[in-house]
Homo-oligomer: A and B are copies of this chain.
Amino acid sequence: MLIKSPVDEVKKRENSFRIISSILNQNGRNALYDLTGLAGGFKLSQEDLDLLETYAGPAIFESQLQNLGKAHLGGEKILAFNRTTSGILATILALVSSGDEVIHYLPKFPSHPSIPRSTALVGASYREFDNLDEFEINDNTSLVIITGSTMDHDIIKEDEFLKIIELSKSKNIPVFVDDASGARLRTVLYHQPKAMDMGADLVITSTDKLMDGPRAGLMAGKGEIVDLIKSKAHQFGLEAQSATIVGIIKAIESFSGERMLDAFRKKHLVYEAVKKGINSIRETPTGVMLSADDLINELNQKGVETEFSPADVACVFAALLLRNYHIVTIPAVGMPGASPTIRIDLAAKDAERIDKDYIVKAFIETFSHLNEI
């Protein structure tokens, strides 16, 4: 195995950053195509910058954050986190005790690792379901988590969502929705209501996913619960700092679903073109993807055997895509436990600057290059 430990993942990420840095330094930002859909951004003005102090910053931007956050997510109170992952940690620290159980329902495995990790940290047990018939709540369940859209953008069905809410309410258990991408994918492309409007107690979304904000987590929820979580966030340093808060405000102000809808309409062009060379390519709501397992199958079908794991091979594919075609995908730069799927997000800002044929050519040539290696 190439990536044997979380520290290896740190090294992989550092290596990819060195490649990105050399591309930026030698050829400038326009030579890089971040197609992760997570590029995010920072639309601050000089005037904003001058106010970004430890205390003056949060004070002046707090009311804007509350108003815009509620407009985007609903709920009574808004709280910004350094990352969605740290928001999940703060929530579990605040609502789950040792010996409790956390139940997690998602449209399709695998789940994001931050939820089981934080649950284990507080000494609680964890179970996950992607089949409604098997879903069950125990007496010691203290939190139900719903994932609105998975890392590979599988979307939860609205009736399943409502059923989980109903079951949880019947046992008086709070429901926390991880809507990292779902808050926009579900509502803009699949016309589902906001999580808070479907009865959730808490929801969190990632403001660099499918919107031009900084990497951060934005939570909305019932006031009393958010206060408990806010206190934990402050105790462990998990809250967003003032520059990030301003970045979130600007991202919500400038958000429109247009790029998502455009990608939703055009993705089939890329899908059909790549399919000619790589049969197991699949569509996502806003682009195309090749799972690590499918990548291995494709190699095997070409008579290529490898002792490396699917995640390792996907990581090499992503590294080649980055080095040779300057295309950034998650397996090259993702955090420990991020999905190994090679996913091209056509809603990414950089997708507007890149010709679809270039993406198809990069994908197919990288696959044959991998064949050779």
Residue numbers of A with Cβ under 8 A of B are 5-7, 9-11, 13-14, 16-18, 20-21, 24-25, 29, 32, 34, 36, 38-44, 46, 49-60, 62-63, 81-89, 93, 113-114, 117-118, 121-123, 208, 214-217, 227-228, 230-232, 234-239, 241-244, 247, 328, 333, 335-337
Cross-chain contact A21 with B86 (CB below 8 angstroms): no
CB of A67, distance to nearest CB on chain B (Å): 13
Known: A85-B236, A234-B10. A55 touches B241 (CB 8 A): no
Assembly stoichiometry (copies): 2
Q: Within the complex, which residue of B7, B55, B89, B231 is in contact with A38, where a contact is CB–CB below 8 Å?
A: B55
Question: What are 20 A-B interface contacts by the 8 Å CB criterion?
Answer: A7-B227, A9-B234, A14-B62, A17-B62, A20-B55, A21-B59, A21-B60, A24-B60, A34-B54, A34-B55, A38-B54, A42-B57, A52-B214, A55-B328, A81-B237, A82-B237, A82-B238, A86-B86, A86-B237, A214-B242
Cross-chain contact A42 with B34 (CB below 8 angstroms): no
Cross-chain contact A32 with B56 (CB below 8 angstroms): yes
Cross-chain contact B216 with A241 (CB below 8 angstroms): yes
Known: A58-B17, A227-B7. A337 touches B29 (CB 8 A): no
CB of A21, distance to nearest CB on chain B (Å): 4
Known: A20-B55, A39-B55, A43-B49. 11 other contacts (CB 8 A): A7-B227, A9-B231, A14-B62, A24-B60, A25-B60, A42-B57, A42-B242, A82-B82, A93-B121, A235-B335, A243-B244
Tell me what chain A mostly uses at the interface: helix, strand, loop, or mixed.
Answer: helix
Cross-chain contact B82 with A54 (CB below 8 angstroms): no
Complex-state Cα separation, A5 to B232, whole angstroms: 11
CB of A308, distance to nearest CB on chain B (Å): 21
Which residues in B have their C-beta under 8 angstroms from that of A118? 236
Known: A39-B53, A235-B117. A241 touches B215 (CB 8 A): yes
Cross-chain contact B21 with A85 (CB below 8 angstroms): no
CB of A48, distance to nearest CB on chain B (Å): 9
CB of A262, distance to nearest CB on chain B (Å): 20
Which residues in B have their C-beta under 8 angstroms from that of A14? 62
Complex-state Cα separation, A294 to B330, whole angstroms: 56
